[in-house]
Structure 1
Amino acid sequence: MAVLEWSADEAEVHARVVPSEFDALFLAGYGRLVRSVSYICGDPEVAADCVADAFERAFVRWRKVGQLDDPLGWVRRVAIHRATDVHRRRVRGRRAVLRLGMRPEPPSRMAQQMSDSMQFHDSELAAAVAELSQQQRAVVVLHYLDDMSVIEVSAALSLSDGAVKYHLHQARARLRNILQPHDSDAPYREGAP
């Protein structure tokens, strides 16, 4: 993230207007949230917009948000919900284009973006994660990449713990199916599933 260069007047106004707790939250969380939301929605630009929007909403409501046990969790939840709304709008748009008999734009290059990232060194894994449903992708990203517990993921996505466990189970099964070789000539390994 680029460091802002401010004049003395701008720095003074910033110090008077922006609470230091909000500043610290933004500096600590912005990059991680953009990365996570990028993996979930498949578009880094949309993710950056959604996270910026979530931080803007947090700033406007800082008196309440700042008193929460986990203000970053609130921002994460808002950003993910915003990304989900954008995704739904795009899906509806593609369906409308198809109903009109037009040719839709190709989907985003999510697998390539993921494999280009430091978190996904394996392009095969990135492609497999990109094939998951958005809900499955969200729980996988938050649970494995952001190292969040099931309870934290359920709070971030406004799901029950059981729903998070279900989506994790489904995602792992789908990833296993995608990533396992299906070659019938593969050697038999004793004890392999």
Structure 2
Amino acid sequence: MGALDERAEDAVAAVFRAEWGRIVATLIRVTGDWDLAEECAQDAFARALDRWPRDGVPDRPGAWLTTTARHRAMDRLRRARTEAEKLREIAATSYGDYGDPPDRYGPPDESGIDDDRLRLIFTCCHPALPLDARVALTLRTLAGLTTTEIARAFLVGDQAMAKRLVRAKAKIREAHIPYRVPPAPLLPERTAGVLAVLYLLFNEGYSASEGADLIRTGLCAEAIRLARLLVELMPDQPEARGLLALMLFHDARREGRVDADGALVPLEEQDRRRWNAATVAEGLAVLGPPGPPDRPGFYRLQAAIAACHATAPTAADTDWPRIARLYGRLRELTPSPVVELNLAVARAMAEGPAVGLELIEELESSGALAGYHLLPAARADLLRRLGRDGEAAAAYRAALALAASEPERAYLRRRLRETDETDETDETDETGGA
């Protein structure tokens, strides 16, 4: 591959991260068709990969891609003999190959949201759709996450998530749900969806579901940026502040989460001198004092848990009984198998590994987290702490077969070697490969 090819591919990758959501949003606005918008955006990126190595990267790659995608949409609409009104609408709003459209996102809105990306997320999170559908659709359409990545975030299979996305788009089409920014008074009814989008976007960045890197720094940075803007927009919204604080506490530990070889370093083994004290302090300031004890919020509770970790001088100083209590309140508020798993780990650290192991075995028997690699990984860790190395090795093998992130796989292989001296697992092992 030549230098020009590499530059073109890098440019396409960069503009995908920066512009995908805006391009798709523009096409949705002018065509009213979500599927057509995504297909034409994909076609434009494919054409860029073909043409840019030969013709050079345009001065304004985002505008080039938007124009190319629009032209493709016009062609598709003509071939399908769509109403002349749609064609006139697109023609009236088209623009030159390298110029900006006079209005990229429609007429001026009354939302009070200055940031384009945050405005689009509020636009996507329409309350007529179920919460999980609007969140998944926004992650796919605006954040550019793959169906597989979104499916893992929701702990469902790829096919189930694909069907969910199809149903959401069909409802938008059949119910004629408008794609436009809501006015300021209607923003609160969409806030839960926006919070969930930013939360899952950060999670995918902080613990990538697959690939060579544990952390996708760009996704984390964008989620934090948007969360800051949301707090500015809604300063009295405690859950927005809780979400931002949660992100900051986690992001403060970023440098200590992988070793020199890129393998995951568990929390208790991290060098806390590498944690960012200024970011921790910002998180504490954003979180503020605890809210009313009878009205905990999903994100504030998680932020309080993260604060316990972020402020403990050493692993031994971690207030595990408090963390277990907070997870107990989180379970009461939003019961889920993942919360149950985290509660089991917290109780194991507070009361002993045998207590946590019993809870984890109950979870395993329920089948609620089948296919979730952190369940056998947690079981393996507790078995190792109990000195039951043979059983721990088997559990590490089960986790290794499910994990898709290479840094996590590297950590699991290390633990497997520690608990099974006869193990010769490497990057080409039959448990899943790297």
TM-score (norm 1): 0.41
Task: State which structure, 1 or 2, has the greater radius of gyration over its C-alpha atoms.
Answer: 2
TM-score (norm 2): 0.20
- Asked which structure has the greater RCO (Cα within 8 Å, sep 6+), the reply is 1
